Chain A
Amino acid sequence: MAVLTTFIVEDNPLILDTLVSALQELTPVQVVGSAADESHAVAWLQQPGHACELLIVDIVLKSGSGLGVLRRTAHSTGPERRVVLTNYATPDVRAACRALGADRVFDKSSELDELIAYCEDVARPHA
């Protein structure tokens, strides 16, 4: 199974750890980097040599916002797929995320299974 290089933007270390280990164990995801706020995330993504196939962002961050990350990397040659993992997956938030180029929006609490399935699905053509 081919790996799916992934960058995660998440400010909570507990969630980050659990997410990384769960995704790496259950899916072909290989986490190549992570950031806890908007500026670090953008900095990492815009740095030459840094590349990933999947970007997972949380909306509420220590500073800045996941939406800001999406907006500021929308036009760069960034990751092919961007998904949002948030506690605020209301229809409006979903629409806003889509408008900013997010492929999918997952609820942090109720749609973790869907996120895992999506990661598996995305990785499949790479096999």
Chain B
Amino acid sequence: MLPGRTPERARLRRTRLALWLAAAAAVVVIAINEIGHARATQTLQTLSERFERRLIVTRLWRQMLEAESGQRGFLLTGRDSYLQPYRAALLEIEDSLRKLQGLHLDERRLAPQIASIEETTRQKMAELAATLDMYLDGRTEQWHELMLSDIGREKMDELRRAVRQVIDGETRRIEAGSVDAFGALGRNRLAINMLALLALLALALFLRNVQRLDRAQAAHDMALRTERDRLEATVIHRTAELTELTRHLQSAREDERSRLARELHDELGALLTAAKLESARLKRNLGPMPPEAAERLQQLNRTLDMGIALKRRIIEDLRPSSLSNLGLVAALEILAREFAQRAELAVHTELQPVALDEDAQMTVYRLVQESLTNIAKYAQASEVSVSLSQHDGQVQVGVRDNGIGFDTSAVRASAHGLLGMRYRVEAEGGRLQVDSRPGQGCHVRAWLPQSCETAQPATQE
């Protein structure tokens, strides 16, 4: 009935495979994510450099214009206020050139253009400085000539071209880099989405598995329950059979005892009584007789009496005549009184008339008899009480002693005739309960269903 080895092993294999797959999926997703992240980081860094470069180059162009415009203003007006922006622009140009050099080192492709910008800038700056020096020295013709030579304009055109080239190139590359970064982001998104879907799928599979396990468990439970119910039914059936057998055996035993008792009473009793009567007649008829003959006759009478006493004891033991003649209450009272005399202890009785058929009466009688026998044998009691009562269609009989008691769970059920008592009571449709603890005495109780007849023994009217 238990689930076989093979499905279990298959399940284990499936579990292991699922674990490997989950690990592989995680590794792939982590790899994609990490690579994407690294690339995006790098791309963004490059992009920011390109922005920076574009900014610096643009600024350089503007500073160059400011420097030129300041120098021209001074040349035209001769006011020092134009020299101040010129000099500031020169300083800023130097700063921009330094920054540009710091940036372009890792970008080989741009090196010639950057170099060209730098060179042109320096030439232009030299031209501006030369023109200014000539002006300050008062060499008017010379600086006019230099201005008219168009060298300054050519240098500015050259620089504009170089700056434009760098800005356009960088703008192009920034756009390409953005596309690249967005591509990496998209791949990451795809990988994460796929992982989420995989997780969802795994969860669904897991839930399905759990459900299947639940179903298998339920089927297993069902099988167990069915098996248990079947066993219970078997036990009930067997118990009923056993009870029936006990009842049959008990009744056969009682019948046999009754038959024996009746035979002894009828046949042997009649013979003995007849012998006694004959002996009485003999004595009367013979009248006075010799002492030896009288002695012999007396001895014969004594022997007959012994036979009668023996017969009576055997019969009483086989079948309590008090039960059939006087009813259960009187029979139990006699039993208790005789037991009290024999065992030399106090027996209290509290007996009420009850409605029981003959078999059940015999069961009660035997139960009390058996309990008293046990008390005499084992209990070392000083007081015993016997009770018989009837409530709500149930007859309760109880025998309680104040003896040494015993552990009901430790004593074998067959010991002290308890098992026999129990079966006998159950065969009458009743139940038996034995309460005892070491040092606490013992209380044997039985409940029997009352019979339909009225509760009145024959002789108690």
Contact = CB atoms under 8 A, between A and B. Distances in A.
A26 B325 contact: no
A71 B280 contact: no
A12 B267 CA distance: 8
A70 B274 CA distance: 24
Contacts of B269: 12, 15, 87, 108-109
Given A14-B274, A25-B281, A93 B265 contact: no
Interface string B323-356: 0011000100110000000000000000000000
Kindly state the interface size class of chain B when it binds its partner.
Answer: 20 to 34
Interface string B255-282: 0000000000110011111101110110
B308 interface: yes
A110 B280 CA distance: 11
A76 interface: no
Given A25-B281, A92-B334, A18 B273 contact: yes
B251 to A, nearest CB: 21
A interface, over-half SS: helix
A94 to B, nearest CB: 11
Interface string A87-109: 11010110010001000000011
B265 A71 contact: no
A19 B285 CA distance: 15
Contact of B266 (A12, A59, A112): A12
Interface residues of A, number: 30
B305 interface: yes
Given A92-B334, A110-B305, A65 B325 contact: yes
A113 interface: yes
Interface string A1-37: 0000000000110110111011001100000000000
Interface string B267-304: 00111111011101100110000000000000000001
B308 A110 contact: yes
A60 interface: yes
B322 A18 contact: no
B338 to A, nearest CB: 10
A51 interface: no
Contact of B280 (A15, A88, A108, A116): A116
B104 interface: no
Given A18-B277, A65-B458, A92 B326 contact: yes
A67 interface: yes
A88 B274 contact: no
A22 B321 CA distance: 28
A18 B326 contact: no
Contacts of B278: 18, 22
Interface string B182-221: 0000000000000000000000000000000000000000
A60 B265 contact: yes
Contact of B325 (A12, A25, A67): A67
Nearest to A26: B284
A44 to B, nearest CB: 21
A89 B285 CA distance: 28
Contacts of B276: 109, 112
Contacts of B321: 60, 87-88
Contacts of B141: none
Contact of B334 (A12, A14, A19, A90): A90
A11 B262 CA distance: 12
B274 A18 contact: yes
B160 interface: no
Contacts of B325: 59-60, 65, 67, 88, 93, 96
A93 B277 CA distance: 23
Q: Which one of B274, B304, B333 has the highest number of Cβ atoms from chain A below 10 Å of its Cβ? A: B274
A71 B273 contact: no
Given A96-B325, A109-B309, 16 more contacts: A11-B266, A12-B266, A12-B269, A12-B270, A15-B274, A15-B277, A22-B278, A26-B280, A60-B265, A87-B265, A87-B269, A88-B322, A92-B322, A96-B326, A109-B273, A112-B276
Interface of B: 265-266, 269-274, 276-278, 280-281, 284-285, 304-305, 308-309, 312, 321-322, 325-326, 330, 333-334, 458-459, 461
14 contacts: A14-B271, A14-B274, A15-B277, A18-B273, A26-B280, A60-B325, A65-B325, A65-B458, A67-B325, A67-B459, A96-B330, A96-B459, A100-B459, A109-B276
